[in-house]
């Protein structure tokens, strides 16, 4: 029986009542000494062959009879009011079926204070209208026939400028999200700094980064009567369902969202996109299915980005390294719309034992593309600032950076006072340092100056990582057993490219005692699947995996019940492994299908719910990364020679998919540290590199040697797997570790990402 718990929480001075439903069986995680057959073993992707042979059907591949194609007209101005739209010429182009704009669509609220088709456009790329036509080419041609009369408005691109009272306003109530900064305080920050022997204080700047998932955003919408089906490249099918239902005034059972395969998502696919709602409206209007898939330019302009930030960080410490105060003030560029407000202060609040902490964040609207979640939102930026400054503090105190960190190590979550369920960060420092040869490699700062004129400078640096990653309820799964001893797992999660299906198959195989090839995983369908949360926040495995395990467990119990009766042996004597029943009472093992095949189509169906999270401990993930760089003093080129990473995300389910996550995260962190940066023309607000030619991503030649190890220790308080997420942790400390290594190489620090050749040469005094 589901139990409802009413809790009261305080939020911004208001007392909020919240209901929590507690359900799910109390399975405990497999003991560390229990030998496991699938969990913890390198397992190739269950859907690898169809992915690499082009058979997998992505949203782009959906074809429907009579399907039309949509192309979106986007604003050429960073800020303007639409005075009129004349769609007549476009509508007359043969093959054009409809032109949608604010003139002929319902006024649908979208995001903060705005509408699906707004009469004000707020960045170059903002949605103005959409042509629905027989093919994409006609739609594209028709865009040029739409005549829009704009009233040009003053615009602002820089967040610091946008905070000025004289700045052009994007919204009537100003450019600051929420009207006030987001503030966090504990202890007494003034007293903390007063107690300090040493204070370091710097301003860090990070750039705007673009997601560039391999598969662009896109949707196909189909109406059947009053039921809407949408194929969508999304990280949250149930969220898209909820959003579509709300915006279009539909009940949830009439909205079906499907996402079978997906070519990556780093947070920009967390949200319902305008193109999805437009496709649904266009399909309704034309009476035919509509496909809208964004191209790379649109992808880079309109789907969200990692926001640029300015962070002013100040740390006070005693001579022995004990932190007395930590303050971080951040200004974050929301762009025109804030899709997913990040919290840059997280690492400052959580990484170290410190009684006096203050973080303050201004999230500021500007006439640029919208902010969205991007792999570890806020923590990548915040870690760069805090861990850079900790490095500087260590230098100031003439301490080893690891020593300084261990000095301020804590086993207690500083924000809640709860002990961590497990924390392997100390071990990560120690194992990482050993693997890297930290103590040997670390050149004393004094030695640096003499090398300043060497053609290449070498440096090493390290940084720490903290992140959540335990997932949460609600998440549900079913496990169906077929008469031939195969099983189908059904849940409503989505595999965004990380290998979710493979990991869930391992879990089900382990719990059932079936060979893994006998498991099929069905996900990505709101109508036929069960609720699962968004695939973000490193929480898919830790949210959905436990539900799958419970469902498999329930199916296994039923299977044992039935087998004991059919085989006429005591139930307690039976075990299942390799798809075989074994019992001392049996002469030889009996295959599962031998029992089930006689039972006609009797179908065992196990149901599982994610259990509640513990309330007495904090569950987090931790890690440390070490970087070695060489810097060419002539060209300013930084080459990352190697990265060593040691992470603690609890139990490792699949070392193979995990290695993709770790390596992918590090590589993305490296791109962020050295290359990636959206460039906006200051005079026009136009993005100059909304493409893969000019937006520089790391290529194979830029990839360093990557060595990583996992602590791989089950967290028994986290969930019934003992596993936590690993999607975000590896990107978090990379830029900081590289920046620290560059500082170590140069002897001077660069406070602004990306660390380009120009900045290096400037720091070296060469330009």
CB of 62 to its own copies, least distance (A): 8
Decide whether 603 or 688 has the Cβ nearer to its own copies. 603
Q: Does 583 bind its own copies (CB under 8 A)?
A: no
CB of 94 to its own copies, least distance (A): 23
Using CB under 8 A as the binding criterion, the count of chain residues that bind its own copies stands at: 72
Q: Does 65 bind its own copies (CB under 8 A)?
A: yes
Q: Does 600 bind its own copies (CB under 8 A)?
A: yes
Which phi and psi angles does 505 have, rounded to 5°? -65, -40
Decide whether 62 or 308 has the Cβ nearer to its own copies. 62
Kindly tell me which residue out of 28, 44, 55, 84 binds its own copies, with binding defined by CB under 8 A.
Answer: 55
Kindly tell me which residue out of 41, 480, 582, 639 binds its own copies, with binding defined by CB under 8 A.
Answer: 480
Segment lying near its own copies (by CB under 8 A), choices 53-61, 304-312, 689-697, 758-766: 53-61
Q: Does 476 bind its own copies (CB under 8 A)?
A: yes
Q: Does 253 bind its own copies (CB under 8 A)?
A: yes
* 89, 92, 96, 98 alpha-carbon torsion, rounded to 10°: 70
The rounded distance, in Å, linking the Cα atoms of 86 and 639 is: 53
* E strand segments, 492-637: 519-522, 575-577, 580-582, 590-591, 604-609, 621-632
Distance from chain centroid for Cα 327: 26
Kindly tell me which residue out of 32, 152, 454, 603 binds its own copies, with binding defined by CB under 8 A.
Answer: 603
Kindly tell me which residue out of 93, 198, 199, 252 binds its own copies, with binding defined by CB under 8 A.
Answer: 252
CB atoms within 10 A of CB 728: 27
Q: Does 15 bind its own copies (CB under 8 A)?
A: no
Six token digits for residue 662: 């770790």
Decide whether 35 or 251 has the Cβ nearer to its own copies. 251
Decide whether 57 or 454 has the Cβ nearer to its own copies. 57
Kindly tell me which residue out of 325, 541, 604, 742 binds its own copies, with binding defined by CB under 8 A.
Answer: 604
Element (H, E) at 458: strand 456-467
Place of tokens 């009053």: 226
CB of 172 to its own copies, least distance (A): 30
The rounded distance, in Å, linking the Cα atoms of 719 and 27 is: 9
Decide whether 52 or 767 has the Cβ nearer to its own copies. 52
* E strand segments, 468-528: 476-481, 487-491, 519-522
CB of 498 to its own copies, least distance (A): 18
CB atoms within 10 A of CB 742: 27
The rounded distance, in Å, linking the Cα atoms of 490 and 29 is: 21
Q: Does 484 bind its own copies (CB under 8 A)?
A: yes
Q: Write the interaction track for its own copies spanning residues 85-104; mark x where CB under 8 A is met and - where it is not.
A: --------------------
Place of tokens 């997601």: 211
Decide whether 571 or 696 has the Cβ nearer to its own copies. 571
CB of 471 to its own copies, least distance (A): 13
Using alpha carbons, list the distances in angstroms from residue 753 to 148, 311, 744, 749.
38, 12, 16, 11
Residues 549-578 that bind its own copies (CB under 8 A): 558, 561-562, 565-566
Listed residue (750, 461, 465, 462) closest to 630, CA to CA? 461
CB of 234 to its own copies, least distance (A): 16
Contact 99, 91 (CB under 8 A): yes
Element (H, E) at 735: helix 734-746
Q: Does 628 bind its own copies (CB under 8 A)?
A: no
Counting Cα atoms < 13 Å in the Cβ hemisphere of 501 gives 22
Q: Does 449 bind its own copies (CB under 8 A)?
A: no
Helix (H, G, I), strand (E, B) or coil at 467: strand
Decide whether 57 or 692 has the Cβ nearer to its own copies. 57
The rounded distance, in Å, linking the Cα atoms of 105 and 278 is: 9
CB atoms within 10 A of CB 251: 9
Six token digits for residue 635: 């060209």
Q: Does 665 bind its own copies (CB under 8 A)?
A: no
Decide whether 513 or 698 has the Cβ nearer to its own copies. 513
Q: Does 531 bind its own copies (CB under 8 A)?
A: yes
CB of 30 to its own copies, least distance (A): 24
Q: Does 615 bind its own copies (CB under 8 A)?
A: no
> Which alpha helices (H) appear in 408-528, and where do they start and end?
425-436, 438-441, 500-512
Kindly tell me which residue out of 25, 37, 56, 284 binds its own copies, with binding defined by CB under 8 A.
Answer: 56
Place of tokens 């920050």: 189
Distance from chain centroid for Cα 294: 20
Q: Does 57 bind its own copies (CB under 8 A)?
A: yes
Q: Does 44 bind its own copies (CB under 8 A)?
A: no
Contact 736, 463 (CB under 8 A): yes
Segment lying near its own copies (by CB under 8 A), choices 353-361, 486-494, 631-639, 664-672: 486-494
Q: Does 47 bind its own copies (CB under 8 A)?
A: yes
Q: Write the interaction track for its own copies spanning residues 232-251; mark x where CB under 8 A is met and - where it is not.
A: ------x------x-----x
Q: Does 16 bind its own copies (CB under 8 A)?
A: no
Q: Does 31 bind its own copies (CB under 8 A)?
A: no
Contact 193, 325 (CB under 8 A): yes
CB of 61 to its own copies, least distance (A): 5
Residues 197-226 that bind its own copies (CB under 8 A): 222-226
Distance from chain centroid for Cα 749: 29
Q: At what angle do helices 379-397 and 734-746 cross, to 10 degrees?
A: 30
The rounded distance, in Å, linking the Cα atoms of 531 and 102 is: 34
Kindly tell me which residue out of 140, 488, 660, 691 binds its own copies, with binding defined by CB under 8 A.
Answer: 488
Using alpha carbons, list the distances in angstroms from residue 175 to 8, 119, 333.
32, 18, 10
Category of 703 on φ-ψ map: left (φ > 0), alpha (ψ -120 to 50) or beta: beta
Q: Is the dihedral of CA 533, 535, 536, 537 positive or negative?
A: positive
Using alpha carbons, list the distances in angstroms from residue 161 to 76, 166, 174, 206, 315.
22, 9, 12, 16, 26
Decide whether 579 or 730 has the Cβ nearer to its own copies. 579
Residues 258-297 that bind its own copies (CB under 8 A): 287
CB of 649 to its own copies, least distance (A): 25
Decide whether 358 or 518 has the Cβ nearer to its own copies. 518
Residues 125-184 that bind its own copies (CB under 8 A): none
Q: Does 83 bind its own copies (CB under 8 A)?
A: no
Segment lying near its own copies (by CB under 8 A), choices 335-343, 513-521, 649-657, 687-695: 513-521
Segment lying near its own copies (by CB under 8 A), choices 44-52, 458-466, 617-625, 690-698: 44-52
Q: Does 605 bind its own copies (CB under 8 A)?
A: yes
Segment lying near its own copies (by CB under 8 A), choices 395-403, 528-536, 615-623, 713-721: 528-536
Six token digits for residue 610: 């994610």
Element (H, E) at 242: helix 237-248
Decide whether 561 or 681 has the Cβ nearer to its own copies. 561
């Amino acid at each position: 029986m589901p139990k409802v718990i009413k809790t009261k929480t305080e939020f911004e001075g208001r007392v909020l009542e919240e209901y929590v439903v507690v359900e799910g069986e109390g399975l405990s995680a497999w003991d560390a000494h229990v030998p496991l057959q699938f969990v913890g073993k390198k397992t190739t992707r269950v859907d690898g062959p169809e992915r690499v042979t082009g058979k997998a059907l992505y949203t782009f591949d959906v074809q429907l009879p009579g399907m039309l194609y949509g192309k979106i007209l986007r604003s050429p101005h960073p800020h303007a009011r639409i005075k009129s739209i004349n769609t007549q010429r476009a509508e007359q182009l043969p093959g054009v079926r409809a032109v949608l704009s604010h003139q002929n669509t319902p006024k649908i609220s979208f995001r903060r204070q705005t509408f699906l088709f707004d009469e004000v456009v707020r960045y170059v790329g903002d949605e103005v209208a959409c042509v629905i036509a027989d093919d994409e080419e006609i739609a594209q041609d028709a865009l040029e026939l739409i005549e829009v009369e704009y009233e040009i408005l003053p615009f602002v691109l820089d967040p610091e400028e946008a905070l000025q009272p004289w700045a052009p306003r994007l919204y009537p109530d100003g450019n600051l999200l929420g009207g006030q900064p987001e503030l966090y305080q504990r202890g007494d920050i003034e007293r903390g700094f007063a107690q300090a022997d040493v204070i370091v204080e710097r301003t860090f700047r990070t750039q705007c980064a673009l997601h560039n998932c391999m598969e662009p955003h896109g949707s196909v919408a189909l109406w059947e009567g009053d039921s809407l089906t949408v194929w969508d490249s999304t990280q949250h099918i149930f969220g898209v369902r909820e959003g579509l239902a709300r915006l279009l005034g539909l009940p949830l059972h009439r909205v079906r969202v499907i996402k079978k395969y997906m070519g990556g998502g780093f947070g920009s696919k967390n949200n319902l996109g305008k193109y999805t709602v437009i496709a649904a409206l266009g399909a309704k209007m034309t009476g035919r299915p509509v496909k809208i898939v964004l191209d790379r330019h649109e992808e880079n302009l309109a789907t969200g980005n990692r926001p640029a930030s300015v962070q002013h960080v100040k740390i006070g410490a005693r001579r022995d390294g004990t932190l007395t105060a930590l303050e971080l003030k951040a200004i974050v560029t929301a762009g025109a719309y804030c899709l997913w407000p990040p919290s840059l202060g997280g690492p400052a609040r959580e990484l170290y034992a410190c009684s006096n902490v203050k973080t303050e964040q201004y999230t500021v609207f500007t006439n640029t593309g919208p902010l969205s979640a991007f792999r570890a939102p806020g923590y990548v930026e915040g870690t760069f600032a805090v861990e850079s400054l900790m490095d500087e503090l260590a230098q100031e105190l003439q301490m080893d950076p690891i020593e300084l960190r261990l000095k301020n190590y804590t086993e207690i979550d500083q924000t809640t006072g709860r002990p961590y369920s497990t924390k392997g960060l100390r071990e990560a420092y120690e194992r990482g340092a050993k693997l890297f040869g930290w103590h040997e490699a670390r050149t004393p700062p004094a030695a640096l100056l003499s090398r300043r004129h060497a053609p290449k400078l070498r440096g090493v640096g390290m940084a720490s990582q903290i992140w959540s990653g335990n997932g949460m309820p609600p998440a549900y799964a079913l496990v169906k057993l077929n008469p031939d001893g195969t099983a189908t797992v059904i849940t409503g999660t989505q595999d965004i490219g990380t290998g979710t299906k493979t990991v869930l198959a391992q879990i089900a195989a382990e719990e059932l005692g079936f060979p893994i090839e006998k498991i099929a995983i069905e996900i990505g369908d709101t109508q036929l699947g069960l609720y699962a949360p968004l695939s973000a926040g490193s929480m898919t495995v830790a949210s959905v995996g436990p539900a799958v395990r419970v469902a498999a467990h329930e199916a296994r119990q039923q299977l044992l019940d039935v087998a004991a009766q059919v085989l006429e042996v005591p139930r307690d004597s039976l075990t299942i492994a390799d798809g075989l029943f074994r019992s001392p009472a049996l002469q030889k093992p009996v295959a599962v299908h031998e029992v089930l095949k006689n039972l006609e189509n009797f179908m065992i169906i196990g149901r599982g719910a994610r259990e509640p999270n513990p309330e007495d401990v904090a569950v987090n993930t931790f890690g440390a990364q070490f970087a070695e760089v060489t810097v060419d003093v002539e060209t300013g080129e930084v080459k990352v020679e190697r990265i060593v990473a040691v992470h603690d995300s609890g139990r490792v389910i699949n070392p193979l998919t995990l290695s993709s996550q770790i390596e992918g995260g590090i590589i993305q962190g490296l791109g962020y540290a050295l290359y990636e940066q959206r460039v906006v023309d200051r005079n026009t607000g136009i993005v100059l590199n909304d493409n893969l030619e000019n937006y520089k991503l790391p290529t194979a030649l830029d990839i360093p040697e990557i060595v990583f190890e996992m602590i791989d220790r089950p967290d028994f308080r986290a969930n019934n797997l003992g596993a936590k997420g690993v999607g975000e942790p590896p990107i978090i400390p990379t830029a900081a570790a590289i920046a620290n290594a560059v500082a170590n190489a140069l002897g001077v620090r660069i406070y602004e990402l990306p660390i380009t050749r120009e900045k290096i040469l400037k720091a070296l005094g060469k330009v």
